[in-house]
Structure 1
Amino acid sequence: MPAFEELRKEMEADDGTREVVIKRSRDVLKLSKTAIYCLHRGQTELATSNLAEARTIVEAELFPLADGKAQLRFGGALSGALEEYAEAVIFQGYLRDGRVPSPRSEGLAGVVNRDEYLGGVMDFVGEVTRTAVLAATRRDEEAVARAREAVDDVQLALMGFDFRNGQLRRKYDGIKYSLKKLEQVTYEMSLTKALGQFSMGSRDSCLCARGLV
């Protein structure tokens, strides 16, 4: 029957488009993850290059393929890749400017939607917490304090949202654990510093008592 043959061809075409979207979305996801890895290692130029390539794939290939097809654009591989991309761009902006970029910032506006941006912000909390832990090993109190302030700001900003049960709610609930970890890191650094000062003071007192200083 001609009508059924037409439907079959339409379904095959949709399946082919879906496979391309899934494959190229994986490429965007990989580029974004690599960019985050590079940012942790201080390789900012390589991270910028990866994010530029990811954005090109999204705008030149994926958006045209998903245009008018809500099932491809929202809630699938493409949306997941864009959330990872948003996380990378937000992390890059934080490291560069010391603050969380707004959804209207370059690289985000017109590329990610509201939920993808919010998901990226929440995932960014994990990255900035990781930088704080590494900074603590270098005894970089200022970097740890900046990270804690950033997570505090994110949590405060998101308190006004009514996240219903779902992925965003789970990610939002995870922020408190990151904040708790940062508080623990801050406490341990202050304790180590206090013990070090106490040890130095005790040493000086002993030397004075023995007439060596």
Structure 2
Amino acid sequence: MLVNALFDDFRAHLDDYNDRRERLIKTSRDVTNLSKRTIFLLHRMVMEADADDDTAALQAAARGHEKLREIQRLFAGMKPELAGDRFWRYQRQVSPGLQEYTEALSFAHYLEHGSLITFDQVQRTLCDADGVPYFPLTIADYLLGLSDLTGELMRFAISAISRRGGRAKASEVCAFVRACKADFERMTPYVRDLSKKQAVTALSLEKIEHAAYAIAVRTSEYSLPQEMLDDIVAESISTFSAEDESRTRSGRRRDDDNPDDIEGLL
């Protein structure tokens, strides 16, 4: 009888573990989906205005923070599931959603302030009204989420170039991404998977630099009003983006790409 009771206890413990794990996976997926929608919302709102329109960026950030509060309510619901040391037991289930949330939050923060969100600022968004954290934010999740931000900034910079006043904004974003890459590099020995993210960041930085350099060189050859130059740049970037996407889908090696492709379009 004692043996049966012992195994019943084991079964109940395993059932509780698996049920909690499934609930956390589902919530983490919901967090990921909402975070992606927030990022799409931010991109859409800033693309509807001129690149140098700071008011549009602030409005986009405000809308983004509204969507992020929905995610924060999901995190609040996870608090009982992760009480005590259970967070570390289920960290792998929580981590993907937390990284995606950090990416969306940092993008909204950049649009609003033009700077990188700090670790403490992210952690404060994961606290209740009394300032008690729902669960701890790890340095790894924070850094990996910020590393993903550089990809969104690349898209933001490329789209900014194609709009009026966007070349200065793209140059600003390029310098910011370059600084992020340099600062994150020293962390790669200590954070698992950060080196892989850094490789993606390097590609994102290369795309921004390539587009900005080609446009700066080619536009210097024309004696045209600024408005006409902006129109030429917009058309060229649109064509370049379509061809770049086509190359990516066809699986061509980067080494085979012609580095002068975008320059030939301008």
Cα distance in 1 for residues equivalent to 2:110 and 2:191:
28
Question: Do the aligned residues in 2 keep the contact of 1:144 with 1:186 (CA within 8 Å)?
Answer: yes
Deviation per residue, 1:114-159 (Å, 9 max, x gap): 1111011110000000011101112511110111011011012123
Measured on the aligned residues, the alpha-carbon RMSD in Å equals 2.0
Specify the alignment match of 1:37 in structure 2.
40
Cα distance in 2 for residues equivalent to 1:165 and 1:48:
28
Question: Do the aligned residues in 2 keep the contact of 1:34 with 1:47 (CA within 8 Å)?
Answer: no
Cα distance in 2 for residues equivalent to 1:88 and 1:80:
13
1:118 and 2:143 equivalent? yes
Specify the alignment match of 1:14 in structure 2.
17
1:50 and 2:57 equivalent? no
Number of residue pairs aligned between Structure 1 and Structure 2: 196
Cα distance in 1 for residues equivalent to 2:174 and 2:204:
9
1:168 and 2:194 equivalent? yes
1:179 and 2:205 equivalent? yes
Question: Do the aligned residues in 1 keep the contact of 2:185 with 2:198 (CA within 8 Å)?
Answer: no
Q: TM-score, normalised by structure 1?
A: 0.84
Structure 1 position 44, deviation (Å): 3.9
Deviating more after overlay: 44-53 vs 88-97: 44-53
Alignment-mate amino acid for residue 167 of structure 1: D
Q: Identify which of structures 1 and 2 has the higher relative contact order when contacts are C-alpha pairs closer than 8 Å and 6+ apart.
A: 2
Q: 1:136 aligns with which of 142, 158, 161?
A: 161
Deviating more after overlay: 102-111 vs 14-23: 102-111
Listed as ranges, the gaps of 5+ residues in structure 1 are 201-213
Alignment-mate amino acid for residue 206 of structure 2: K
Q: What is the identity percentage for the equivalent residue pairs of Structure 1 and Structure 2?
A: 26
Question: Do the aligned residues in 2 keep the contact of 1:83 with 1:112 (CA within 8 Å)?
Answer: no
Cα distance in 1 for residues equivalent to 2:191 and 2:39:
28
Deviating more after overlay: 104-113 vs 31-40: 104-113
SS in structure 1 opposite 2:145? helix
